[in-house]
Each structure stands twice: as C-alpha cells, then as structure tokens.
Structure 1
Amino acid sequence: MWIQITEALLKERDKQAKWNGIPLLLQKLYENSHPNSDFSQCQSILKEISPLLSMEAMAFVTEDRKAAQESTFPNTYTFDLFGGVDLLVEILMRPTLITQKKKPKISDDLIKDCLSILYNTCICEMIQLEDIPNLASLVSSFDQQQLANFCRILAVTISELETGSDDKHTLLAKNAQQKKNLGPSRAEVNQATLLNIPGFVERLCKLATRKVSETTGTSNFLQELEEWYTWLDNALVLDALMRVANEEAEQSSTGQFPASAAGQHSPQHVVHKMIAEFKLIPGLNNLFDKLIWRKHSASALVLRGHNQNCDCSPDITLKIQFLRLLQSFSDHHENKYLLLNSQELNELSAISLKANIPEVDAVVNTDRFWQARAVESFLRGATSYADQMFLLKRGLLEQILYCIVDSECKSRDVLQSYFDLLGELMKFNIDAFKRFNKYINTDEKFQIFLNQINSSLVDSNMLVRCITLSLDRFENQSDIKVAEVLSECRLLSYMSQMSMRMSFLFRLINIIHVQTLTQENVSCLNTSLVILMLARRKDKLPFYLHTLQEMEYTEKYPGFILNNFHSLLRFWQQHYLNKDKDSTCLENSSCISFTYWKETVSILLSPDQTSPCAIVSYIDEAYMDIDRDFTEE
C-alpha cells in the first residue's frame, strides 16, 4: 500500500483533504517498524500522532460530547482508513509472531503509546473483534507469549468508555444516558465474542498461573528483568480476565448483555464460574505464596519515574491485578469460600459452630488499597460472624486502626478503603467493638480517629452507617457481654449521643446535591436514610425532622437542608426503584428490607403538610422549593 502511493502525492492530497499529515506519519511508522527494526524511531512518530487523536477523544467525553457525537472524527477516521489500527496491532504482536530465537523487545513506553492511541481510537470508533476473520482459530493457534501479547490489545476492546462510571460523571447524567442506549455496546459485543472462543477463559487461567523460577541469591539483573517481563505479561492476562468478568457481571444486571455470551445459560456468573472451574484462584495462591509476597529483591531494579525509596517493586502490577480479581470474584461469585484452602475452611467452620450465632439475613500505597478492597468485597453481603472472626483472629482490625490512627494516613482513596473494610469487619460484631476499644485506649487516639472520620464523610460514611446500625442492634439486646461493651466502648458511647447522630445527619445531607451525586457519594444519601429509618422504628422521625429544621435556623439557612433532602429523595426513587442489584446491596448493607426503605422515602416525601413525618411539614412556606425539575436532558 505504501509503495504504491508516493510521498509527493500524499503531501499534495493531504493539503486538499486536510488529513493533518496522518498518512505521512503512518508511512514513516510503517518504514520504521519492519521485522528487523529496533523500533527506535517509532516512539517519536507516535508522539506526533497521539495529540491529533486525543483531541477528538477529549471532545467526545467532555461537556461538548453531545455535539461531538453528532459529527465525525476526521483524524480518527483518517488514522483507521490508512491502516493505523492494523499497524499498531501488528507492532504490539510482532515480537510474538517472529520465529527467530532472538526476538525484538518493545519498550514499555512504546507499548504504552500504542495502547494509548488505540484507546483514543476506540473511544470514537470501537474496534469490533467479531469482524476479524477466523478470530477463534487465530487465538487458538497462539502460544503462551502470543496470547499474553494479545491481552494488551484486549484491554482497549472490552473496556467501556469510563465516563459512565467516573466519579466526576453524575448519576443524573448516567441515568439519562442509559435511557438513550437501547442495544448492547461494542465493548459488550466484543466481550461476547471472546467468551464464544472455545477454551479462551481456561487458557487465560492457565497462562496467569505460569510459574516463574524463585529468585536465588546469585540472580543477576538480567534474570530479574526477564522475570519482570513475565510478571507484566501475567498482569495483562489477569487484567483481561478481570475486565471480561467485571463488565459481564455488571452488564448482566441491566439485562443488556448479549445472550450469545453464555449460550443457553444466564450470563450473570459465566466468567466467575469458569474461573472457579479452572482453579485460577488456588493456582494464583500457590504462585503468590512462593514468590510474590516476598521482601523486595536485593537488586536495585526500580520502576521508571520512581526512586529507591518508593514502595514499588517489579511485581506490583501483578499484585494489584490479583487483588482486583479477588475483589471481583468476591463480589460476583455465589461461593466466595472457594478462595480459601481446606485448613482455612475448617477453621471458619469451627468458629461458626463454637459461636452458634445464626447468619444475619440479607500506611499509603496502592498495594494496601487493593488489599483492603479485596477483603472488604469478601466480607460484603449478608453479615457473617464467622467470616469476621476469621479475619479478626488474624489481627486485621488492629492493622487497619494502625494505618488510620498511628500512621495518620492522608490519602482519601486509601482511607476510604480502610473505612469501608472496618465497617464490614465490625458490623453487628460486639467482639470487634471490644477489640476496637482495646486498641483505641486513650482519648488522644480516639480524637485522631474521629478527626479522620470527620475529615471527609464521603469516604467514612459507610463506617458511620455500620456504627449506627450496630448501636441500634446492641441496644435491643439483653446480653450482659453486650451491655458491658456498650458502657465501655468510646465509639458506641460517642454515637449514642443524639447530638452526634444529628450532626452526622445534617452534614451528610449538606455535602450532596442531586446535580453532584456520583457513584462515590450517593452512599451519603443512603447513610442519612439509614439514620432516619432507625428513628422511624422508634417513632422518633418527627423529632429528627424538627431538629433538622432547628439546625437550619441556627445556621441561618432556613429551608436549605430540607429542600435539598426532598430533591435527593425524589432522585432516590427515580434511581433505585427499578434496580434489583442496587436494592440488594442496600438490604445487605443495612439488614433492613428494601420495602422499608421504599416506605420510609414515601412517608418523607408525602405532600401532606399536616403529616408529622413529611419533610414539607417542616419547611416554612416562604422557603418552600421542592418542585424544581432536576432531570438532565
């Protein structure tokens, strides 16, 4: 193709067609990426191409996205028309397609640039895997290394554009977008295409658990570098598995996932069942027990852009993907205990039998963040005393408190993961509160803990919810042990004060608004509802609403909080009433039936201004502003 079109002709046509030099750049890239090339010039060429495509991708996902979607993307179209996508895929796959023993290595930066351009291309015009001829036979013919490289490309073809799940993208806009999307997205179709390849998930499971030789004392830099590349390959495979598993499970909840992905079976748990069947988790556990959690190696191998003191190691990427996969598996698979070995299962069973308690119905680094997330997902769901004690016996609560209090962690993301995990670990568990009080044994420590909670309620509100729910349950029990902990525990005594609960309620409502609700902060609304549902159970709902009204006047903002809360609850009805998955999460997190959630919201939104439980009864007519339309077009 490039031989038939001269450079002079390309330049002349480029001016007329306004191709912005993309065909010429692709011609240079082609010439500098032949089989015997060292790829040294490729990166500078890609640096010229990248801005041309990223600008269009940016236009697609910014506030101007509506106008952008209605127009074409000339640079992206030109890039694809002149074989740019095919060329980048070929570059990524080339090291594994060459039969020579000494295969060329592509630098991490070059790989990153290739994938970045492919991703921007996919934003505007997603690559369709089903259009690739003989895809199943091609993938089946790949050896291990070729399959690992193929996973690099999968990452950009099975990922949904992240504007819909981004924390900055509001739920209001997300709901409006979902109403417009009638059929499955290209990413969903690509996921289905992959799942239809016979043995694909099984091969990924086997590839992800490839053994790497233990590093010996005589290892040299080159040997460790080879291992590093293997870890990165394994991480890519895990990433591909996780993306297929996560997207498949999430989309199935909306009923939009292509039926072909699962044949005659429900697609909801297809991938996670395959992961269990092919023993991915035990295989990874064996691999990690032997190698991954070792101390950093003696050699000075440091990631680009990091220094010797950075808490990173060559295998950090694989660690994170492993923990993300554990989180996904715990979230979606019906039998999370497949994660445990026989000895751990026996221990869990013994705890459960000894306790004879029925199940209740329904320091900063990235590594620690994902550890907390993975364990929190394991605990999430119907509260299990045995699961909690299994982890409490291993000192998990003390480790979390050390990170929150003694190290005074400042990272919001990491703090949120600690608070969420602490909430799941302590919920309804009197032993956990006793352990908490033993560790937080001074007023100074307790004040640091409260400061961390109050520093960002968006991050800590799930823990506030846990403490509130637990206190309510403990107060209704007659057990002597429970009574002792209630009287001694600083945390429970603090939350038992009405003024503290009202302070949390006021602030939770005040920090969110319908127009700014996201997947990250909507939990604040649900936590405020939990506080009011517990008040309703004790016939104290009118008192709470009246106190909110008084607090408004004290703050010199009459009507502001209650009008805002009224709008938030109207949105809550719109957002939750037709979402089974969300309602299940609400029930599991609170042990309060979804029917009671719905009833409480309806009572609060009653238009009857004589009702003592209706919000409108506590807003003076002069400040009433409850009918504002918040629908986002």
Structure 2
Amino acid sequence: MSIVNSLVYKVEAVHVLGLLLLGKHRRRTQKMVSEMKLIPGLSAVFENFVWKVRGNRTGAHDRLAGHNPSCQCSPEVAIKIQVMRVIHSFCDHSEYKHLMLTRSELAEVQRINEKAGLLQIQGLDQVDKNNMCKGKVGLLAKIVEVLKKEPTDSTFCFWFCRVIDSYLRGTTSFCDQVFLLRRGVLQHIVGKLLDGEQKTKEILQSSFDLLAELMKFNIEAFKIAEDVLRTTELRKKFRELTNSYIVDSNMFIRSTILSYFFFCNEQPEYADYSKNVNYMLSYIGDFQHQVNYLHELVSLTTVHNISQVR
C-alpha cells in the first residue's frame, strides 16, 4: 500500500506543476522550471519509464484494487500521463522549448535553420546550453522513438502526439519540422492512420493536428507524404479518411490549403510542383474541393463538436 500511496503523491505533485504551467503566470513558471533544469530531469525520468504494458511485469501490489495495468486511474499510468501533460504545457508557445534537445541536436537544428530561407527563425544561439538535455538523445527525440513503438490503441499515443504538436506550435519553424521529419514522424503518423485499425476520435484528431503542424509551409514534408502515398489506393484511402472525419482533420485541411497558397505565392519555384505534381497539394488546390470542405465543416459544426473545431 505504501507504494501506491507514494505513486498517488507523485501524481498529485506533478499535476500541481502542470496547473502552474497552464495558469496566468505560465511564462514565469516556464522560466523558473527551465532554470531549475526540469527538462533534463524529465528526460532522465522518461527514459526509466516502462511504457508498454508487458504481461505481469507490473505487480498487483503496485496498483489500486480493481484496476488493470493500462487503466488511466492506475497510479503508474496516471504519473506518466501527468508527466506528459507537464511537458506539453512547458513547450506550448515557449521560448524554452529547445531545452528538449541535446547540444548536438541543437547544432543540427541550427544547421537546418541556416538553409531555411523565408522560414528561418531567430534565437537559437540564445538557448541556455546548461539547461539542455544531456547525452546524445534529448527528450523530444525520446518521445518520438517511444511513439513509433507504441500500438495505436495505447493510452499514451494521444499524449505523445499532443506533446510533439505543442513543441511545433507557434511561429512556423522549418528547422524543427525537418528535425522531426528526419526521425520518421510523418511516415509513422500517416502509416498508422492508414493501417486499418479502429481509432478513437482523440487519436484521429491528435494525429491530424500533428500532421498539420509538421507539414505547414514545408515542401520537404509534402515530398515525403507524396512518397508515402505512392499508390492510387493509398491516396484514395487517405482522402476518404480525411473527408469522413472532417471535424478531426480540419486543422490538417486548413494547414494544407495555407501551404498550397504559400508555395504558389511566396515560393514560386514550387508552384508547378504544388499545382501539377504533388497529389495532396494539387487536390487541395482545386477550388471546388476547397468549397466542398468549407460546406462540410459549416454543416457539421454543432454545439456538440464546436470545442473540437479550432
């Protein structure tokens, strides 16, 4: 029972930290926990978590009576979810989010940024290296690797997607997008969406939202998607999934439309590719398709799902 009590206490403590990162003083809290080396600490904790439920590895004495290992009420699951909530809140529109990288990973991001052209961001040279993750693999990359190993129906997949999505939110960061593209995030998400398994609305929405942030204004992402959706069958399947769950995919649809016009108007060297070569962009660039999506969204939006449409 003492183990359960200890876990419950830790869940409550991490929950309070998460609330502080969500409150009106969140900027100040982000700064304070950054200076307290929260992120390298969470990176070490994350590495020691056992994410998959593996048989009877977690004994009954570690759980509340009547709860199985994957139950969200179970303390060992709850502590992981609360940790993911904290990471999500920490990096959401945060100037400290690059602390989730190691020094070598930051150097990689800086090299990408130097070639980002219109999408180059400022401030990478101001990241406090003393408060970054240690070793070769940072917290962000660790989350990506665990996400790629988790089954679709995992309790944690939603939160992994939300954290990566949160990391990308804000001003479009081409260098951060490419960093994640190099680690196979796009191929994994699209592959999971098309694997034929039944998915909850939460998983669908978090997956499409992540794709929206990952691909926005990034021609390299659309080239990768073109390679993943290499057959007529796969393209049809992805299109039907997007259209069938339009409330969940609306962020992705809007991101793709904005990207299409960005490539045509701001990066004219990609205009022909967007209009005539890339399936995803050429499909969304069709004016009638845009009108159809608008009509569907307006028709489907009710008081019951309005909270999902952002």
TM-score (norm 1): 0.40
What does residue range 109-508 of structure 1 map to in structure 2 within 5 Å?
226=3, 230-246=6-22, 248-249=23-24, 267=25, 269-289=27-47, 291-293=48-50, 296=53, 299=57, 301=59, 305=66, 315-359=76-120, 363-476=152-265, 477-479=267-269, 483-484=272-273, 486-508=275-297
Contact 1:327 1:373 in 2 (8 A): yes
Aligned equivalents of 1:409, 1:345: Cα separation in 2: 37
Given residue 49 of structure 2, which amino acid in structure 1 is its aligned partner? I
Q: Please report how far the alpha carbon of residue 358 of structure 1 lies from its aligned counterpart in structure 2 after TM superposition.
A: 3.4
Q: Please report how far the alpha carbon of residue 408 of structure 1 lies from its aligned counterpart in structure 2 after TM superposition.
A: 3.9
Q: Structure 1's 319 and 482: CA in aligned 2 closer, same or farther, altered over 3 A? A: farther
Q: Structure 1's 296 and 519: CA in aligned 2 closer, same or farther, altered over 3 A? A: closer
Q: Which residue of 2 aligns with 1:597?
A: none
Q: Please report how far the alpha carbon of residue 444 of structure 1 lies from its aligned counterpart in structure 2 after TM superposition.
A: 1.7
Q: Which residue of 2 aligns with 1:622?
A: none
Aligned equivalents of 1:355, 1:462: Cα separation in 2: 24
Q: Which has the higher contact order (CA 8 A, sep 6+)?
A: 2
Contact 2:216 2:258 in 1 (8 A): yes
Q: Please report how far the alpha carbon of residue 442 of structure 1 lies from its aligned counterpart in structure 2 after TM superposition.
A: 1.5
2:307 is the alignment partner of 1:519 = yes
Report the secondary structure of 1:394's partner residue: coil
Q: Structure 1's 351 and 482: CA in aligned 2 closer, same or farther, altered over 3 A? A: farther
Q: Structure 1's 307 and 235: CA in aligned 2 closer, same or farther, altered over 3 A? A: closer
Q: Please report how far the alpha carbon of residue 315 of structure 1 lies from its aligned counterpart in structure 2 after TM superposition.
A: 3.4
Given residue 38 of structure 2, which amino acid in structure 1 is its aligned partner? L
Q: Please report how far the alpha carbon of residue 342 of structure 1 lies from its aligned counterpart in structure 2 after TM superposition.
A: 1.3
Q: Structure 1's 326 and 455: CA in aligned 2 closer, same or farther, altered over 3 A? A: same
Report the secondary structure of 1:349's partner residue: helix
Q: Please report how far the alpha carbon of residue 428 of structure 1 lies from its aligned counterpart in structure 2 after TM superposition.
A: 0.6
Given residue 271 of structure 1, which amino acid in structure 2 is its aligned partner? T
Q: Please report how far the alpha carbon of residue 501 of structure 1 lies from its aligned counterpart in structure 2 after TM superposition.
A: 0.9
Q: Please report how far the alpha carbon of residue 318 of structure 1 lies from its aligned counterpart in structure 2 after TM superposition.
A: 2.2
Q: Please report how far the alpha carbon of residue 432 of structure 1 lies from its aligned counterpart in structure 2 after TM superposition.
A: 0.3
Aligned equivalents of 2:7, 2:43: Cα separation in 1: 15
Aligned residues: 275
Contact 1:272 1:332 in 2 (8 A): no
Aligned equivalents of 1:238, 1:371: Cα separation in 2: 17
Report the secondary structure of 2:156's partner residue: helix
Given residue 519 of structure 1, which amino acid in structure 2 is its aligned partner? S
Given residue 491 of structure 1, which amino acid in structure 2 is its aligned partner? M
CA RMSD of aligned residues (A): 2.7
Unpaired runs of 5+ in structure 1?
Answer: 1-104, 107-225, 250-266, 524-633
Aligned equivalents of 2:258, 2:197: Cα separation in 1: 26
Contact 1:474 1:486 in 2 (8 A): no
Instruction: Encode CA deviations 1:43-71: one digit per residue, 9 max, x unaligned.
Output: xxxxxxxxxxxxxxxxxxxxxxxxxxxxx
Q: Please report how far the alpha carbon of residue 448 of structure 1 lies from its aligned counterpart in structure 2 after TM superposition.
A: 1.9
Q: Please report how far the alpha carbon of residue 403 of structure 1 lies from its aligned counterpart in structure 2 after TM superposition.
A: 1.6
What does residue range 477-626 of structure 1 map to in structure 2 within 5 Å?
477-479=267-269, 483-484=272-273, 486-512=275-301, 518-521=306-309, 523=310
Aligned equivalents of 1:332, 1:270: Cα separation in 2: 13
Aligned equivalents of 2:297, 2:7: Cα separation in 1: 43
TM-score (norm 2): 0.79
Aligned equivalents of 1:488, 1:231: Cα separation in 2: 54
Given residue 273 of structure 1, which amino acid in structure 2 is its aligned partner? K
Q: Please report how far the alpha carbon of residue 277 of structure 1 lies from its aligned counterpart in structure 2 after TM superposition.
A: 1.7
Contact 2:263 2:271 in 1 (8 A): yes
Aligned equivalents of 1:392, 1:453: Cα separation in 2: 21
Report the secondary structure of 1:333's partner residue: coil
Q: Please report how far the alpha carbon of residue 295 of structure 1 lies from its aligned counterpart in structure 2 after TM superposition.
A: 5.4
Q: Please report how far the alpha carbon of residue 520 of structure 1 lies from its aligned counterpart in structure 2 after TM superposition.
A: 2.4
Q: Please report how far the alpha carbon of residue 453 of structure 1 lies from its aligned counterpart in structure 2 after TM superposition.
A: 1.5
Q: Please report how far the alpha carbon of residue 389 of structure 1 lies from its aligned counterpart in structure 2 after TM superposition.
A: 0.2
Contact 2:275 2:285 in 1 (8 A): no
Given residue 241 of structure 2, which amino acid in structure 1 is its aligned partner? Q
Given residue 318 of structure 1, which amino acid in structure 2 is its aligned partner? I
Given residue 298 of structure 2, which amino acid in structure 1 is its aligned partner? I
Contact 2:71 2:77 in 1 (8 A): no
Contact 1:379 1:388 in 2 (8 A): yes
Q: Please report how far the alpha carbon of residue 473 of structure 1 lies from its aligned counterpart in structure 2 after TM superposition.
A: 1.2
Q: Structure 1's 498 and 484: CA in aligned 2 closer, same or farther, altered over 3 A? A: closer
Instruction: Encode CA deviations 1:521-548: one digit per residue, 9 max, x unaligned.
Output: 3x2xxxxxxxxxxxxxxxxxxxxxxxxx
Q: Please report how far the alpha carbon of residue 382 of structure 1 lies from its aligned counterpart in structure 2 after TM superposition.
A: 0.6
Aligned equivalents of 1:325, 1:244: Cα separation in 2: 9
